[in-house]
Amino acid sequence: MEHTGILKAAGLLRGDLTGGSLGVFSPIDGAEIARVTPHGQSEIEHKIGLAKQAFEIWRSVPAPRRGELVRLLGEELRAQKQNLGALVSLESGKILQEGLGEVQEMIDICDLAVGLSRQLFGLTIASERPGHAMREVWHPLGVCGIITAFNFPVAPWCWNGALALVCGCPVIWKPSEKTPLCALAVQKICDRALARFGDAPAGLIQTVVGERDAGETLTKSQDVAIISATGSTAMGRAVGGALAARFGRCILELGGNNAMIVAPSADIEMALRGIVFSAVGTAGQRCTSLRRLIVHADIYNPLLERLKSAYDGLEIGDPLAEGMLVGPLIDADAFAAMGMALAEAEADGGTVHGGQRVLEAQYPNAFYVHPAIVEMTRQTKIVGCETFAPILYVLKYDTLDEAIALQNDVAQGLSSCIFSTDVRETEYFISALGSDCGIANVNIGPSGAEIGGAFGGEKETGGGRESGSDAWKGYMRRQTNTINYSRDLPLAQGIKFEI
């Protein structure tokens, strides 16, 4: 489908796409596909005010009824899956299969949130005093600001939004300035769900378009109780600092530098598929992309040869075309960053295979690259950096402790994995002595998480958790209740205080 057809099918109208000052470019060919209008500070403050009013109402709507809105949202997303998936592909450059997968993740988290709306469980706790009961209950926290990155233009909004809504929190979304169209299209889908729901308060689900300053307005507002921010570690430092200064709650989902250990006992066919998907998928522009491959010395050479030939066969090109595996980088800056990283790795003694620009004649304004494999003799500074491009550094190891030490010796702590059929190795890897990451997988690559588990990572990845497990608690406040149903007033710890 032509670009204009995709925009139209996603429900975007002429007024959404023209007349603004913020240019939106498709990484597929570098063409400008829209000029959207950013919201000014006073407009954003107005939206925050509306969301605050919505909170007053929404927090007392029974949670299962709040779940009904998210159920309708899931239905609307199902109906729009193909069109929204294509828009994700057009605006972010990921292959259509991954665009559709992102929308499926939205649907999945809606399903999870609907069930959750009847399961916002607290605790009953044994009291030390006779005739007393203790409980822990969860209440909605307040307005939730959601700041997202270009590489996952829709799913992270929903990981947060679906949960926040059932938890009783209105949401305001500030998407990446590189992918505002996906957000505008999702807002329209939400508006349809809201209309079907009927009596949701105005301002419950809103979007603000803008650059960093729009995110800062949300971050600084005392009326935004929670900020969930997905993006670079640099962004997280700024957002985390601003939230700490006002004691706001923040959920940070930042950069990763993910590794795979391939042990001698690994099923090499499986490992190969795992490596290639996680290293070149989304053209290496996932927070969970595989960036460091740590291979046992005994299998290093044969694995590397297999990997190089798999890389030689990669289909690189238009991400909307059937069978394509690698789409473009997001823009010229990403291409320049890739080039600089490869040059630095080479200067550090690395041997680079691939990494060159391709399809330049066909797409002079877009940046397609052949994914790079870089053999390194040690983990240098550049290997420790998250370069958002398909660069796979390969390192050799002799002992598992050495491999785990290498894996953990970076600033980020998002995702990790081991390919091994030795249960001693795999259990050790996921034990307290093993991987220090938020995600540690066995015989699966580091990317492509399911929504059922909490998603996020440690260290410079920010420590936040989204999606499944008990991540919903991030949008609620915990309240401890002690209820005295006796006719006496005993004090805790046996303290005597007679008046």
Where on the chain is the footprint of ligand NAD (CB under 6 A)? 147-152, 174, 176-177, 211-212, 215-216, 219, 230-232, 235, 238-239, 253-256, 287, 386, 388, 414, 461
d(CA 312, CA 483): 68
CA dihedral 11, 13, 19, 22 (to 10 degrees): 10
Q: Which is nearer to ligand NAD, 252 or 303 (CB)?
A: 252
Q: How far is the CB of 398 from ligand NAD (least distance, A)?
A: 30
Q: For residue 219, what are the contacts with CB-CB under 8 A and spacing of at least 6?
A: 145, 147, 227, 229, 238, 239, 242, 243, 248
Q: Which is nearer to ligand NAD, 85 or 255 (CB)?
A: 255
Q: Which is nearer to ligand NAD, 210 or 274 (CB)?
A: 210
User: If we measure between CA atoms, which residue out of 430, 345, 441 comes closest to residue 395?
Assistant: 345
E-assigned strands of 175-225?
205-207
322 flagged as catalytic: no
Q: Which is nearer to ligand NAD, 407 or 461 (CB)?
A: 461
Instruction: Decide the pairing of beta strands 205-207 and 226-230.
Output: unpaired
169 flagged as catalytic: no
Q: Which is nearer to ligand NAD, 396 or 465 (CB)?
A: 465
Candidate list 169, 287, 385, 437, residue with the active-site label: 287
Q: Which is nearer to ligand NAD, 173 or 300 (CB)?
A: 173
Candidate list 76, 98, 177, 253, residue with the active-site label: 253
The residue behind tokens 């926040």 is 164
Q: Which is nearer to ligand NAD, 255 or 468 (CB)?
A: 255
Q: Rg (Cα) of the chain, in Å, rounded?
A: 24
d(CA 409, CA 482): 46
CB atoms within 10 A of CB 311: 21
Name the residue type at position 73. Answer: L
Half-sphere exposure of 429 (CA within 13 A, CB side): 29
Q: How far is the CB of 478 from ligand NAD (least distance, A)?
A: 24
Q: How far is the CB of 306 from ligand NAD (least distance, A)?
A: 28
Tokens of 305: 């040869």
User: If we measure between CA atoms, which residue out of 229, 239, 287 comes closest to residue 449?
Assistant: 287
Q: What are phi and psi of 367, to 5 degrees?
A: -125, 90
CB atoms within 10 A of CB 357: 15
Q: How far is the CB of 457 from ligand NAD (least distance, A)?
A: 6
- Using an 8 Å Cβ cutoff, are 279 and 308 in contact? no
C-beta nearest to ligand NAD: residue:
215
User: If we measure between CA atoms, which residue out of 369, 272, 362, 276 comes closest to residue 316?
Assistant: 369
Residues that are catalytic: 253, 287
